[in-house]
Every structure is written in structure tokens, then in C-alpha cells.
Amino acid sequence: MASSLVLDEDASGAPAGAAVVVNRSTDGGLTWGNPVNVAVAGPGNDYDKNWAACDNTPTSPHYGRCYHTWDDFGDGDRMLFSFSDDGGLTWSPKQETAARDVGLGGQPVIQADGDVIVPFGDAFGRSILSTRSTDGGLTWEAARVIAANITHPVNGNLRDGGGLPSAEIDGAGKVYVVWQDCRFRRGCKTNDIVMSTSSDRVAWSAVQRIPLDSATSGVDHFLPGIGVDVTTSGATAKLGLTHYFYRNGRCGKRSCELEVGYSQSNDGGATWSGLKTVAGPFLTTSAPLTTHGYMVADYISTSWSGGKAFSAFPVADAAPVGGVFDLPLKSELAGLTPGTTAFTGSTGDHPIRGAAGDHASPRSHIPLR
């Protein structure tokens, strides 16, 4: 099942999210059916940032149920949810959280007992939040704060998603959430990728810096996608992290070079391998220019299969020519592997006292489209 956002023009001629749809494949992706509506926008609605996941645990009371989440920018980025019990052929009426929370970038993860947790970013880029359903998506709890979102908007006029989170779950139901954050960097001039976890679905751990380099380096890390091998858990959980970065975070508007990096933890996030470049560098100006800046992605993801991590990420092979962009989606076909440098932990790292983003989030309640 593949989730998509249907765009149309609103009354002013601007693009608007007209519907959330899925396409279904029953033969492992060889062929695909026509789009099926999950939700169709009405007057004043503007749907954005859709994501879907299914309950794959045979002992779960909701085994086989698929969940969808998205936001309605036309209603202040209201978080919305729906579920399907027939493989995406039909979908339940949309639901809100108990507090009618607003936000975007939600990613549902499903525990073995059928509980669903959806981490997401708030509508103004100030916090990372989560909501939960304990009844198979019939109702959703009021959002809880995971942590403040303290972000440095990256240089190079790059559209960086405003610090949207990426979420995954291990075999024991522990939830891992990562996002870009500058609280460990003096002056918040560049970002780390940071992580918080929860085992009880309610309390979240203190924010931990993923030690891809020194907190005093000039490297800027952003747009993370976390993946967890669900055949592992706890102290031996395997985590894979793919993200973009600038080796020189202080680069100029037309000189910033993007790279795609990978790091891996084999002990549930206690230690991480050194950063390995898997693609790039390429100039940000080789990517399409949007109203939010040059764009490669608002978010990416990492998945595990057969004991290996995989990700897909846009990489510019050449500068645009005549308005035509060379920005293919790439992946490591043999799987991602950690670098050869030693694994290190973040014990001893502490946030800078009073840390705050060095300037306002570019999101400012504008749809990230």
C-alpha cells in the first residue's frame, strides 16, 4: 500500500491538498490498483503530510488494521486519523485527538498489543509531540510533549522541513523518535540529530545527542530518517540513521553542498558508528527551488529487511539545464553499512543551558508543500 497526497488549485490558484489516497498492490509491488480515497477535502480544507502503517502482529486484537494520519492546514494544521480493516479498500471517517491538537509530520508506529503511537511536530515548530490510541484508532488521546524542538534553520536557502520527527519501533515495542536539534551546540549555529525513546508509551526519555561528530564541529545535520530492525530489541536493538548534512554548516547561499550520511547502532542507541557518506556532495542549488527554499525532501525514512538497512533519498547528479532537474531517487541496493570508524556514545553530552533556536522557524504556519 502506497500513500499519496492529491493536489489541486484552491480559489486563489495556489496548490491545495484535495485528498489523501492509497494505491494497493496484491503481488508484492509488481502491479498497482487505482487510487482509493482515504479522505477527500471539503471547502476550506487543505490536506498535507500523510503517512500510513499497518498492524502486522498476529496476536494483536487489531491485526491487519492499517492506520493513516495527516494534517489539515485549512483547519490550522489539525491532526487527523483514519483506519482500514480491508487492506485499504475502505477507510473509517476521519478522527481528531481528544484535544483537537494541531501539528504535522505524524508517523504511526504500532505495538504488539495493538496500541498506536503517533509522534509529530507541532504546527509552529516549537515542540515534538505524540498521541496514542488504545482502541484501534476509534479515539486518540490529547497530545503529550516529547521535548522542545530547538532547531537551527539550515543555511543555503534549503527547505529543511522545520525539524519534523522520524519515528520507529523495536521488537519489544520501544519507540524511537529522532529530529534535528541544536540544543547541544553553542549558539545553536548548527544541528545534531537527537533522539528520545519511550517504553511505556507515556513517558519519554531525556533528549540524547546522536554522536555523529563532536558537538563543537561545524557540521550541520538535518532531515533524519530512523529505522529499527523489528527482529531486535532492547540492548541489542539495531538502529539505522540516514540523514542529510553540510560538512561546512556555515556555507553561503550558493555554496552549500549536501551529503547523505549513514550511522548505525547495534545496542539500542547507546553507541553509534562514525558517520559514513553514502551520496554527494552536490550543491543545494541543483535541487528545485520552492517557496520554502531549495528542496530535496521534507523527510526521509530508513527501513530494515533481512538484517540490512535501506533508505531512499534524492541526490542531484547534475545542475539543472533549461529548467529540467536531474534529481533521481537513489538507494544502496546491497543495503547500508556503518563506517569503519569506532562506535561512540553520547554519555557526558549536555544541552547548552538556556538553549534556543538562533532564529525563528521558517515554518511559521505555512504548509510545507
Q: Would you state the pLDDT for residue 124?
A: 86
Q: If you average pLDDT over every residue of the chain, what do you get?
A: 93
Q: Would you state the pLDDT for residue 368?
A: 52
Q: Would you state the pLDDT for residue 369?
A: 54
Asked whether residue 363 carries a pLDDT value surpassing 50, the answer given is: no
For 76-80, 102-106, 208-212, 288-292, which range has the lowest pLDDT when averaged over its residues?
288-292
Residue for grid cell 493536489: 7
Report which secondary-structure segment, H or E, holds 22: strand 15-23
Tens of pLDDT, residues 218-236 = 999 999 999 999 999 999 9
Residue for grid cell 509488481: 30
Q: What is the mean pLDDT of residues 243-257?
A: 95
Tens of pLDDT, residues 130-186 = 999 999 999 999 999 999 999 999 999 999 988 899 999 999 999 999 999 999 999
Q: Would you state the pLDDT for residue 21?
A: 98
- pLDDT bucket at 342, cuts 50 / 70 / 90: confident
Asked whether residue 358 carries a pLDDT value surpassing 90, the answer given is: no
Q: What is the mean pLDDT of residues 53-69?
A: 97
Task: Kindly list the domain boundaries of the chain, sorted by start residue.
Answer: 149-359
Could you give the CA distance from residue 125 to residue 182 in angstroms, rounded to a whole number?
Answer: 13
Task: Point out which residues pair with 227 in neighbouring strands.
Answer: 240
Q: What is the mean pLDDT of residues 59-83?
A: 97
Give the max Cα distance, the chain: 56
Could you give the CA distance from residue 103 to residue 225 in angstroms, rounded to a whole number?
Answer: 19
Q: What is the mean pLDDT of residues 80-91?
A: 98
At 9 the three-state DSSP class reads strand
Compute how many other C-beta atoms are within 10 angstroms of the C-beta atom of residue 302.
25
How many Cα atoms sit within 13 Å of 127 on the Cβ side?
11
Tens of pLDDT, residues 275-329 = 999 999 999 999 999 988 999 999 999 999 999 999 999 999 999 998 899 999 9
Asked whether residue 364 carries a pLDDT value surpassing 50, the answer given is: no
For residues 369 and 32, the model is more confident at: 32
Asked whether residue 91 carries a pLDDT value surpassing 80, the answer given is: yes
- pLDDT bucket at 120, cuts 50 / 70 / 90: very high
